[in-house]
Amino acid sequence: MMEQGGVNSSELEEILEKRVAIQNEFYRRSGTTLKIISKFPPAFGLLGTTLGMISLLQSLAEPNAFEKLGPTMSMALVATFYGLVLANVFFVPMGEYLGQASEDDLLMRRMILDGVRLIEQRKHPILIQEHLVSYLRPGDRAKKAA
């Protein structure tokens, strides 16, 4: 569209900036949602443990209470265990991953946007390459040059 005159540079930049912002916001919200969800399983686990301990304390008056003590207490603690596992093994890492993916995606989209701007300005390919390589870490730049 640029070459055929269907869009001018300010319109193109506006479109690309909007796409960058919207995609980044989507990833950011997804990561935040998972981090919020990760707060609930430990609370539900604690609730399960509390209910299990209530049941345990109620059964202490029974004649064979000592035999039920271990199994009942272990069942109560399993609820906390599952809550902690769900939060710390699944939801928190997934939220962190989406946060990192959002940052990586934003960087890539900014690089593409800069490349399109430079192409639209008809800059020399070597200059474009140097601009785009600046997005890479110094160690990665040497790999790309080889």
Q: Which residue intervals of the chain are DSSP H helices? A: 9-37, 40-58, 65-85, 92-120, 125-133, 138-145
Cβ atoms 84, 42 nearer than 8 A: yes
In-domain check, residue 4: no
Tell me how many domains the chain contains.
1
Question: Cα(31)–Cα(91) distance, rounded to whole angstroms?
Answer: 9
Residue 36, domain member (yes or no): yes
Is 33 inside any structural domain?
yes
In a domain, 3, yes or no: no
The token duo for 38 is 């990760």
pLDDT in tens, the chain (146 residues): 666 667 777 887 888 889 888 988 888 888 889 889 988 998 998 998 888 888 888 888 888 878 878 888 888 889 889 989 999 999 889 988 888 888 888 888 889 889 988 888 889 999 998 888 888 888 777 776 55
Interatomic CA distance for residues 28 and 22, integer angstroms:
10
Q: Residue 2 domain-assigned?
A: no
Amino acid identity at 128 = I
Task: Let me know if residue 1 belongs to a domain.
Answer: no
Q: Are 38 and 97 in contact (CB under 8 A)?
A: no
Residue 103 forms part of a structural domain: yes
Residue 23: inside a domain: yes
pTM of the model: 0.67
Question: Are the CB atoms for 84 and 41 separated by under 8 Å?
Answer: yes
Q: Which residue range(s) make up the domain with 136?
A: 9-145
Q: Give the closest residue to 101 by CA, choosing from 37, 44, 30, 13.
A: 30
